[in-house]
Amino acid sequence: MLQHPQVKGPGIGLLGFSKGGDLSLSMASFLKNITAVVTINGPVANTVIPLSYKDKIIPSLPINQQNIKDYDDNILDFSVVPSDPFQVPGNQSLIPIEKAEAHLLFIAGQDDHVINSEYFVTETCKHLQAQGKENFQILIYPGVGHCLDPPFFPLYPIGNHPVFQRRAVLGGELMAYSKAQVHAWPQIQAFFHKYLNDK
């Protein structure tokens, strides 16, 4: 990526949403030259499939399919399906983000019905603080579901679950979502400008 003519360098910024968030955190934990990472409603544990890097394998976070809630019209709520990566004894699925040298911006919606984003983010920040790390910021938005797009994108409180390929509650309230879009987008841009611009 650093050799791409449109990449300014000297470092790389990553923006990851949902599964892209845990991939971005994994890249920052294992690769050099990742300077800034923004994750939006992304888990801090590896999900879906095992992640392999050199001789390291991070298994996927176990899921509890029996916790799926079924609403009318066969619309499902998956918010409590992933296991709690901070409570599973001997859990190996947590991404070792304490190894990341990048600056991290965690964004979470309090009405996320795909993963418990707020809980993941707050527990991650406690973990980082316990490791003596200060390279992170956090933005939590009430009334925001799993999706948080740039300003003026429409709200989709129901959509297809990216893993289970079923109709799912994504969450979100229109006014809160719209306000969060307008607030978050310039915060993300300012974060990247601060940590990616070559001094």
Structure confidence by residue, pLDDT tens digits, 129-157: 998 999 999 999 999 999 999 999 999 99
* DSSP secondary structure, 44-92, as one string: SB--SS-EEETTEEEPPPPB-GGG-EEEGGGEEE-TT-B--TTTSTT--
Question: For position 8, what pLDDT does the model report?
Answer: 80
Tell whether 70 is covered by a domain: no
pLDDT of res. 1: 84
pLDDT at res. 187: 97
Residues of the chain under the 70 pLDDT cut: 72, 89, 198-199
Among the listed residues 103, 113, 146, 161, the single catalytic one is 146
User: What 8-state DSSP symbol labels residue 94?
Assistant: B
Q: Is 127 assigned a catalytic role? A: no
Number of domains in the chain: 1
Write down the pLDDT at residue 125: 93
Considering the candidates 18, 24, 93, 178, report the single residue annotated as catalytic: 18
Residue closest to 17 by CA, chosen among 126, 153, 133: 153
The C-alpha R_g of the chain, in whole angstroms, comes to 17
Give me the catalytic one of 112, 117, 161, 178.
Answer: 112
Structural domain includes residue 139: yes
C-alpha–C-alpha distance, residues 11 and 99, integer Å: 17
Q: Is 146 a catalytic residue?
A: yes
Tokens of 76: 């499902």
Q: Which domain holds residue 20?
A: 12-62+84-151+173-196
CATH classification at residue 106: 3.40.50.1820
166 belongs to a structural domain: no
Question: Is 7 contained in some domain?
Answer: no
The pLDDT value given to residue 161 = 80
Residue 129 has what pLDDT?
Answer: 93
Is position 179 within any domain? yes
Instruction: Establish whether 73 is a catalytic residue.
Output: no
